[in-house]
Structure 1
Amino acid sequence: MGIFGDIGHFIMVPLYYAISAVLIGWHKLFTIMGLDPEGGLSWTLSIIGLTVVIRAALIPLFVKQIKSSRNMQLIQPKVRELQKKYGHDRQKLAEETMKLYKEAGTNPFASCLPILLQMPIFFALFRLLDQAAKHNKAHGFLTEKLAEQFGESELFGSIGLAKSFWGATPWGEGADSGAVVAVAAVLVLAMTATTFITQRQLMAKNMPADALTGPYAQQQKMLLYILPVAFGLGGVAFPIGVLLYWTTSNLWTMGQQFYVIRNNPAPGTPAFKAKQERDKAKAAKHPEKYAAYEPVPEGDEVIEPDRRPVQRVQPKRQTRAQRKSGKPGSGSNPNQGGNK
C-alpha cells in the first residue's frame, strides 16, 4: 500500500470501530423501540444519533476554540501595532506576532480545529456507507448482514441513503432518481447554507469592530465564502446518509454557537451590548431579584466590597487612680498605634 496507505489504514481502522459501535448502538435502540431494522428511518435516526454523540464529545474542543477565537479578537490592536513597527521586516514581524499569540494563549488556526478533526470521521462514515452499498463490505463492528441492511436502506421507501446527487439524475434508471436528486439537492443547499450562516453569525455578532480589520479578519472573511463553496461542490458526490450527518452537525454548531454568543459574548461586540440591554430590562422588570446583580458597564472594573470582619475597638488603658477618680485615661488604643 505504501507509506501513505499504511498511515491512512492506521487512522481509519480505529475510526471504523468507533463509528460502527455508536451507529449499531443507536440502531439497536431504535429497533427495540419498534422501527424496522432494515428500514431507512432506523438508519437515518442512527446517523443523527451518531452526530449527536460526536458533537457532544467535541464540546471541550469547541470551548477551547471559542476562548482562542476571543483572544484573537482582543489582541488585534496589538497585532496592528506590530505591523506598523515591523512592517519593513517580515521575519521579525512573524516572530513577534507568534510571540504575541503564545503569550495570549491563542492560535490563528484554532477556529478550524473542529472541522479538521471531524474530517476523518466524515470520510470514515463515507467509506462505511459507500462500501456497504456497493460490496456489502463489513467494517469495524458492522457485520456483513448489517452492512447489507445499511447499504440498501431507503428512506420513505425510495430514497437510498447510499445514493448521491451525482449518482442519480431525474432521467436516470429507476423511478426514484428524481426523488433522490431532490432530497440530495436540498441537503447540499442546507449543508452549504448552515456553514455560511454559522461563520456569518460569529463575525456579525461576536467580533468587535477592531477585529474586523487586519489579517485575522481577512482570514475569517475568506473562510466565510470558501468553506460553503467547497462543501457545496463536494456535496454533490456525497451519499445522502453522509449529507444527513454533516447537515445535522452544522445545525448543532449553529445552536451551540448561538447559546455561547448570547450568554457569554466577547466584550465590545454587538452581542455584548445586546446582553447588557437584556440584563437591564430584566433588572427593571424584577428589581428585587436583580438588585445585587446590576450589569457592569463595558470597560469598568468590578470592585469587590471589603468583606473582612470589623475589628472591635479596644478600650484605652487607665491607671488605678484614674479609674477611681472617673477621669478619662491618657493611654492609647493599641489599634491606633499608641501602645505597641
Structure 2
Amino acid sequence: MLDFIYYPVSAILWFWHKAFSLISGAPDNGVVWALSVVFLVFTLRAVLFKPFVKQVRTQLVMQKLQPQIKALQKKHAGDNQKLAAEMAKLQKEHNYSPLLGCLPMLIQAPVFIGLYHVLRSFNRTGAATHVPFLSPTEPMSIADNANTANYFFSASDVQSFLDAKLFGAPLSAMISSPAAQLEAFGDVTRLSIVLVAVPLMIFAAVATHFTSRASIARQVDTGTVNPQTAIMNKLALWVFPVGVIAFGAFAPIAILIYFVSNNCWTFTQQHFVYGRIAAEQREGDALSTPGSAPTAPVPGAKPIRAKRKRGTSESALPTDG
C-alpha cells in the first residue's frame, strides 16, 4: 500500500550502499551498510534544509507576533469567530503559514516509516511481513528470505545485508528479535545485539535531549514561552529521550543509527541556521540605526583615510593634542 514510499527510500539506501561498496570494496561490511543509513538521513535532511530555514523564520515571525496575538485574544475574548478572522488576517499580513512550521516533520515521518519497513523486510523469517506487491501471511523460510528481493534490493543485496554485522550485531536485528529471526543471521547471540544497541539507544536519547535543550534555549531568550509550549518543552527534554530508550528495544540497529545521525544533523543544523539568522538580524539592526556605522575598519578591510586638499602638506594636518 505504501510502495510509493518504500521504493524511493530503498533506492536512496541502495545508491549509498553501492557507492560505499565501490569505495571500500567490501559490500558485506557492516560499516558500509551503517554509512548507507547515515547518508540516507543526510540526503533527506539536505533536501529538507530550505524548508527547515523557512520553518525557523516562520517560528521567529510567530514569536514577534505574540504581543499582537495576545492583544487580539483579549480584545475578542468570547468571540471565537471574530478572533479566528483577525488571526488569519494578521498571519496573512506577515506571510505566516502554520504549514511551513510542520513541513519538515510531515516529510520525515513517512520516510522513517519507509526506512523502518524496508529494514524489517530484509529479514522476513519472523512474523508476517511485506514483499513487493504481495503480503504473505506466513513467515518465510531462511532460504526463501535470502533469495527474495526487498524492494530496490536484489536477492544478493538481501544476503549481503544479512551477512553484514556492526561489531557482531546484524543491522536489522533488535534486542527483542524472536529466536527464529536470529537464526537467519547465522551465528548471532542476543548479547552481541545488546552490546551494540544499548550504547546507540543511550547516545540517541542524549542527542535528543540536547537537541531539544538547544531549541528551548532560543525560545526562552525570546520570552515567548506560553503554558502549552512549556509542557511540550518538558516532554521534549525528558519524555522523548526516555521514549527513545524504551522504543530502542523494539528497533533494528539500523533505526538506532538513523536516530543518532538524525539528531546529530539537527543539532548542527540548528546552530548553523540560527547563527546565520542572528547575524542577519544584527546586520539589519546596525543598518537601520542612525549613526551606527563602525568606527573601526572591519577586519581584513582596507582602512579609509581622509583625503587631503591639494597643496596641504602632511605636517599642516591637525594633530591630536
* TM-score normalised by structure 1 residue count: 0.68
Residue of structure 1 aligned with 2:9, choices 8, 13, 19? 19
Identity of aligned residues (%): 31
CA 1:207/1:109 → structure 2, altered by over 3 Å: closer, same or farther? farther
Please give the root-mean-square deviation of Cα atoms over the aligned residues, in Å.
Answer: 3.4
- 1:1-340, aligned counterparts within 5 Å? 9=1, 12-108=2-98, 110-134=100-124, 135-136=145-146, 137-156=148-167, 158-167=168-177, 176-205=189-218, 208-213=221-226, 222-225=235-238, 227-265=240-278, 287=298, 289=300
Supply the distance in 1 between the matched residues of 2:100 and 2:230 (Cα, whole angstroms).
14
What's the offset of the Cα at 1:162? 0.8
Q: Deviations over 1:282-309 (max 9, x none)?
A: x8997554699xxxxxxxxxxxxxxxxx
- For residues 108 and 219 of structure 1, the distance between their equivalents in structure 2, rounded to whole angstroms, comes to 17
**Partner Cα distance (2:29, 2:174) in 1:** 18
Q: Which amino acid aligns with 1:44?
A: A
Residue 253 and residue 288 in structure 1: after superposition, are their counterparts in 2 closer, same or farther (change >3 A)? closer
Could you say if the C-alpha distance between residues 266 and 233 of structure 1 is closer, same or farther in structure 2, counting changes exceeding 3 Å?
Answer: farther
* Equivalent residue number for residue 331 of structure 1: none
In structure 2, C-alpha distance between the alignment counterparts of 1:71 and 1:291, rounded to whole Å:
37
User: What displacement does 1:220 show?
Assistant: 5.1
Supply the distance in 1 between the matched residues of 2:231 and 2:98 (Cα, whole angstroms): 12
Whole-angstrom CA distance in 2 between matches of 1:92 and 1:123 = 40
Contact 1:39 1:153 in 2 (8 A): yes
What is the TM-score when the length of structure 2 is the normalising length?
0.71
Q: Which structure has the greater CA radius of gyration?
A: 1
The alignment covers a number of residue pairs equal to: 269
- Using the TM superposition, give the Cα deviation of residue 191 of structure 1 relative to its aligned residue in structure 2, in angstroms: 2.2
Gaps of 5+ in 1: 1-8, 277-282, 293-340
SS in 2 for 1:247: helix
Question: Match of 2:41, as an amino acid?
Answer: T
Cα offsets for 1:65-110 (capped at 9, x unmatched) = 1111111111111111112112233343333323323332224464
